[in-house]
Chain A
Amino acid sequence: MDSLLRLEGIRKEYKIGAERIKAVWKIDLDIKKGEILGLVGESGSGKSTIANIITRLITPDEGRIVFKGVEISALSERAFREYRRDIQMVFQDPYSSINPKKKIGYLLNECLLIHEKGMSKAERMRRVMESLEEVGLDASYAERYPDSLSGGQRQRVAIALALILHPSLIVLDEPVSALDVSVEAQILNLLMDLRRKYGLTYLFISHDLNVVSYLSDRIAVMYLGSIVELGRVEDIIGNMAHPYTRALFSASSDVTATLSGEIPSPLNPPPGCPFHTRCAFIEERCKKEKPELVEMEGGHYVSCHYPLYNKEG
């Protein structure tokens, strides 16, 4: 499959006073056209930083972003505008991501006013209604304010807002985490339907491994600003190679403690392998040398000096 968006050597630090938080260390990541790439990790792993870098809400300190063959990280804000409509985002909390003071129809129309300058009023109205219908809301919602909607309905509006400009990539940052189970299923079904219909590409960020393994084609596992494992869902689930991936997945399936201690602070990350302070399989080398992300076999990557895969193979 062709690459739709590629991150090359992306690095980002946040400065807090004199301290520096290493949010993302030199990451390479390829999002292929038409796929759902699941990005998982615990808080502080850098997954939301990645989302914000891709949508250009923040600028990386280093590295390139290549979208449809164009290095968009090198473009001016003005030149980027053409691509902004093509890369959309849906946030976790539809209560804070949608302006509560405007009617739904106004918000949708505003997207078109900004990005579709030549469009007639009648055509804009048609597109607003069409996008509401796409997400399962009837035309009357155009006249409603966000505060009269439930969480699930608001998330549908957020998806309509992302969809109305017909993007090719949607970055979904924990889009169902704030929803109840029965509503979560409705939104996941909607996302799958829209993807099939429009050939959309999703970067799906979540801490919920059940959701990610249900819906993704590939999964990238992040820990303390690095990708520690990447591969097709079957490879990850069937053949977990990184000790952290294994701990993460077993903790989520039967709620048993598999790791001791907490994630080290990104203010003061450990030397060597970032996971060595919590790893059950630690060796001397892990304390000194940071492992690279290397391909084990056909598209399955791991950054570990002693991957579990080799131990059992």
Chain B
Amino acid sequence: MSLVELKDFSLSFSEKGRLLEAVNSISLSIEQSEMVALVGESGCGKSATALSLIGLENESAVFSGHVYFEDVDLLTFSEKEWEKIRGNRISMIFQEPMTALNPLLKVGPQIAENLSVHHQNVRRAVIRDKVLEILKSVGLSDVERIYRSYPHQLSGGQRQRIMIAMALINNPSLLIADEPTTALDVTIQAEIIDLIKRMNREKGTAVLLISHNLSLVKGLTRRAYIMYSGSIVESGHTEEILNNPIHPYTRGLLASVPSIKSRGRRLYSIPGYVPSLEERSNVGCPFASRCSIKSEKCMKERPKMSDLGGHGYSCFFSPEEIERRMNG
């Protein structure tokens, strides 16, 4: 049994009587203790998918399909049922720890609140010790002082550690990390990644990393799903996808990352831009409007996921054909 399994999951927002589709029939799974990435650019639907997994999606959201967590369909949950799971079995950390923490509450009591909601009959002193212990476990020193500090008195790296401490205090089975290091400096980013890896190793917490940062995805996860415009266009082992991308979008994305190696050359750039929710068409391949190798069929029909020994891609052309057309 997978820990998480999304089956034909779709999500639309109703706006002025119209249904705008943010996520289009995606399927995805996460095993116990596995680290998986959901990769894509802004507006691809990765964050909307993540928020649905923790029951925080916008009220106007309309769902279809299934989101199984340990074989229970989360889409059938009432708010009361969500309260038992959220922050307890499934936790989430966000990009900007300053906006995710309550600026008016000291850090210690703020974490303690998270603990006490789920363990109502525990004594205060016990809770305090437990909070100090978890602050230490996420690599913070001087924890007594941090316990008494307000979020603004701490650095960005310290705040992100506190977010992680808060997310992990109830030993969840799944941690969703939505761009956890985007707001941090590179040297701090590396430390936070090490911390997430260590937590995964020590506690067996499965991690769903939501990111657009390919080197981060490479450093942290075993498997990855590439999303474009509400659909999953490629999936498989992270290394395999990054070394041998198949889908024209993934290939374009990887080729457009600047580096010392591409010095002096023009960067490959995918023409056009990601269509907004209003501009999206649900006919044909979602990438067709920007694809350099599209055929007529791509404008009319939506390709299904093909599987090549665990490496999935949604394109009408075979990997060889894509290679030939893109480089020919």
Contacts and interface: CB of A to CB of B under 8 A. Distances in A.
A105 B266 CA distance: 30
A180 B212 contact: yes
Category for how many chain A residues contact B: 35 or more
Interface residues of B, number: 39
B79 interface: no
A4 B297 CA distance: 55
A248 B216 CA distance: 15
Contacts, number: 111
B263 A213 contact: yes
Interface string B193-234: 110000000000000000010111011100000000000000
Interface in A170-196: 180-186, 188-189, 192
A262 B253 contact: no
Contact of B187 (A211, A237, A247): A247
B155 A262 contact: yes
A228 to B, nearest CB: 14
Interface stretch (A68-76, A112-120, A250-258): A250-258
A260 B191 CA distance: 8
A263 B185 contact: yes
A110 B134 CA distance: 56
Contact of A185 (B156, B188, B260, B267): B267
Interface in B64-91: none
Nearest to A182: B270
Given A181-B253, A255-B216, A188 B258 contact: yes
Contacts of A215: 258, 263
A192 B269 CA distance: 13
Contact of B263 (A214, A252, A258): A214
A182 B276 CA distance: 15
Nearest to B42: A180
Contacts of B308: none
A160 interface: no
Contacts of A184: 256, 258
Interface of A: 42-43, 150-153, 180-186, 188-189, 192, 207, 209-211, 213-215, 233, 237, 247-248, 251-260, 262-263
12 contacts: A150-B276, A185-B268, A188-B267, A189-B269, A213-B263, A214-B263, A215-B258, A215-B263, A233-B263, A253-B215, A257-B187, A263-B155
